[in-house]
Amino acid sequence: IFHYFYAEEKLVGSLASMSKRERIKAIQKIPETMKKKREIRNKVLREITKKSGSRSTQLGCCTQCLRGAQVSCRRFRNSLSEYFHRLRFWHKTLKIIGGEFGTSVLSYFIFLKWLLHFNIFSFLINFGFITIPQFVAAEPNNLSFTGLELLTGAGYFQQTVLYYGFYTNATIRKMENGASYNMQLAYIFTVGIYFVICLLILLFSMAKSFCKDFINPQAYSGHTSKLLCAWDFNITNEKAVKLKQKSLSTQIKEDLTDINKEVLNFSVAERLVRFLIHLGSWAASLVTAVAACAGVYFLSINNLELFTKGHKNDLESQAAMLVLPFVASLLNAFIPFFYSWLGNLETFQNPRNKIYVTIARTIILKISIIGILCYYWLSIVAASESQCWETLIGQDIYRLILVDFIFCLLGSFFGEFLRRIIGTTVCLRLGVPEFDIGRNVLDLIYVQTLTWIGILFSPLLPGIQTISFSIVFYVKKVSLLKNCQPPHKAWRAAQVTTFFMFLLFFPSLVGVLSVIAVTVWRLKPSEECGPFRGLPSIYAAVSEWIKALENFVASKWVVWIYYNLITSELFFFILSVFLLIITYLYWQIIEGRKTMAKLLRKQIVN
């Protein structure tokens, strides 16, 4: 015992003489439990305090106050970070889902939470820079509220800040000699800067996820450490212990599944049959997508004719508004079930390949429908006789998002709850359903694409989508825990998360930016509504602002940047060449890291 205490005393003395960084690394390397490490750290801190106490009398009062302030700031920062860590949304829920169902199902909920952050950010900047200033110049709404507006988005909402047509084109000034606020510039710059930020965040997230999931050499050597060193000895709660056990067990199963892949050798006849099944499935999926797009197009044309001709009564008008979003949501809800059935018919060996194929077919369907709707909005509605075609597009997108949200809730009830009841009572062969990751993720990408398109025509649409995503998260969580079973084959879904981000970037965000660019540069705004009324294009507001700045000497640098950088083809050519060189160098680094990872994996196997 004496020898043990003497060794510990010696260890504490040696640690106290080290620098802070060296002391932290040395304590981390001690082969003891976390509780024992904390005890050693506390003894070291007490030893340092004793040594500094004898020298504190020699220090001045200012030095002691400065050290006390540093310690207080450090403690406040640590307590604040711990507080924010506890405030993280759905942290415990995500742990439960990951422990019960694995990372494949967890990837959907992480992606949903990530999209929720996008919409919260968009709502805050739109509300702060566009909506709040409009309240100053807003006129009273004389329309009556009947309640049907919640479904159609028309009527009373048409004369509110929800839609583009309500915003003024005047310069807002609270007092005569006070500061002014240009609503035209605020509108276009807020939307434009938001999309630039979204593009940068998405590119950074994709690059980070790609490096982490595809080219990180440590990913090949983490199985042993996960088995031997991943347990957290601070866990004492029984529920937390069981949850951690399930989570580690699921992760190890996923890793073993990736390592022990079965390679089946098929005969020539079997390969031919499988190829014909794949070919037939793809042909059927493409024919279905083309038929769905044709139906949406002809229905949208008929929908515009109904609006321009008018209706006999208001109830008929409200019902006619919901036909197009109802049919579009119906196609988006039921055709993916057909694609899932085709995936089961093809009998993929790897569940990841099945999800990739199902997602590819579903994204073709959903993006094609959105493309047809964008063509209808920008080519037909924008050229129609409507007084405010921008508001009409905003109402269409509002109805599409709302009806899709209703179908999402009904899908959880009929597709999972009733399926579980039927599979456990009526037809036992069906069994308990699994969570369809591909279909649910594509639903999120579809509705987020509509929200991004609608930001220009309905600035508060991200706020509605924030509420929708919050409700969907809880509904899907309850449905998953009550109605679904874990996947039969455990598999690691880290690379699928990167694939989800890529789909959100292309074709979703890239397509949205194309639609916004056509609207801003090519289309003429309405003459009687909106902040850009009377202008040949939305971008003309920026050109007129630059011409006005030419008269001010202090703003010459803005004019120089506009003419020499923003409108210069040479600048963008040089920038493109620079980005290509950076991409090439980055790709060479990736290839080098891949080679290192393969060599490291061979060493581990040997």
Residues 250-298 have pLDDT tens digits of 666 656 655 555 555 677 787 788 889 889 999 999 999 999 999 999 8
Where are the chain's structural domains?
Answer: 1-44, 102-535
How many CA atoms lie less than 13 Å away from 235 in the CB half-sphere?
11
For residue 233, pLDDT over 60 is answered with: no
Q: Evaluate the omega torsion of the peptide bond into residue 487 and state whether it is cis, within 30 degrees of 0.
A: no
pTM value surpassing 0.75: yes
> 193, 204 in Cβ contact below 8 A?
no
**Tokens of residue 224, six digits:** 């042993």
Q: Does the pLDDT value for residue 554 go beyond 70?
A: yes
Q: What are phi and psi of 299, to 5 degrees?
A: -70, -40
Q: Which residues pair with 171 in a beta bridge?
A: 182
Residues 210, 499 contacting (CB under 8 angstroms): no
The residue that leads in pLDDT, 66 or 408, is 408
Element (H, E) at 180: strand 180-182
What confidence tens digit (pLDDT) does each residue in 62-112 have?
Answer: 666 776 677 677 666 666 655 555 556 677 788 888 877 877 788 889 899
- Residue of higher predicted confidence among 565 and 65: 565
Q: 143 in the Ramachandran plot: left (φ > 0), alpha (ψ -120 to 50) or beta?
A: beta
If you write DSSP's letter for every residue of 350-385 in order, what string do you get?
SHHHHHHHHHHHHHHHHHHHHHHHHHIIIIIITTSS
Look at residue 293 in the predicted model and tell me its pLDDT: 93
Residue 220's pLDDT band, with cuts at 50, 70 and 90, is: very low
- How far, in Å, CA of 341 to CA of 544, rounded? 56
Element holding 440 (H helix, E strand): helix 437-454
Rounded CA separation 203/368 (Å):
24
Name the phi and psi angles at 181, rounded to 5. -135, 115
Lowest-pLDDT choice from 218-222, 377-381, 518-522: 218-222
Q: Which residue has the higher pLDDT, 31 or 515?
A: 515
How does the average pLDDT of the chain come out, rounded? Answer: 80
pLDDT higher than threshold 60 for residue 492: no
